[in-house]
Amino acid sequence: MISLPTRGADWRLMARTARLVLGVPGYAVLGGVAAVVALTGFVLSQNLPVVGDALAGRVPASILLELYPFVGTSYGPITGLLVVSVALLVGVDIALVSYHVREHRLSAESGGGSLLGVVLGTLGAGCAACGSAILAGVLSLFGVAGLVTLLPLDGLEFALLALVALVLSIHWLADGMRGGEIRGCPVE
C-alpha cells in the first residue's frame, strides 16, 4: 500500500530524517551541491543563447548571475520561489537517496521514485514553457495537444507536479528508513 504524508507525524518524520541525514557533513555537502547544480541547470537551460554568448565572450559573463531567481528579472516571485524550492528538494532528495543506498546497502532500483521526482523537477521547474512544449508533443500523439493552452497557471503546473513528486519521494525514503539509525539515532 502506498502511503501519503497526510498526518503531522509524517511531516515531522520527513523533517527529522532530512535534518539528521543533512547533519552528516558529507551528505550536507552533497545535498547543497545537488541543489546548486539543479538550480543552475534549471536557469541556464532556459537561456542557452545567452549562455553561449557569455561563453563566447560576446556578453559579460556576469550577466549569467542575473538569470537566477531573486537576482535578476527572469523570474517573478512565485515562479522564483517554486524553482528554488524544487532545487532545494532535489538536493535533499539526492542526499537522502545517497544515504539510504550507501548506509543500508540497497540497490539503485529502490530509488525509482526519487528519480521520477528529479526528472519532473528538471522538466517542470526549469521552464514552464519547456514542460508545456514536451507535454504538447506527447499529447499531440493522441490528438489533444490543444489542451495545453487550457492550463490555468501557464505551465507552472509542471513545477507544482515536481514539488509533489519530490515531497512524495522524500516521504517514502523517510518512511523506508524508519527503524534504521541515522548518526546513531533511531528514526521513529
pLDDT tens figures, 150-163: 666 666 777 788 88
Q: Write down the pLDDT at residue 79.
A: 85
Listed by start position, the domains of the chain span 8-118+160-174
Q: Residue 151 corresponds to which cell in the numbers above?
A: 492550463
Residue range 110-131, pLDDT digits in tens: 445 555 555 554 444 444 444 4
Cβ atoms of 65 and 142 within 8 Å: the answer is no
How distant, in Å, are the alpha carbons of 4, 49, 59, 148 from that of 108? 22, 36, 42, 34
Q: Write down the pLDDT at residue 65.
A: 87
Task: Show the low-confidence residues of the chain (pLDDT under 70).
Answer: 1, 104-155, 179-188
Q: Please, where are the H alpha helices in the chain?
A: 8-22, 25-45, 48-56, 77-103, 112-126, 128-140, 156-176
Chain centroid to CA 12: how far? 20
Q: Write down the pLDDT at residue 160.
A: 82
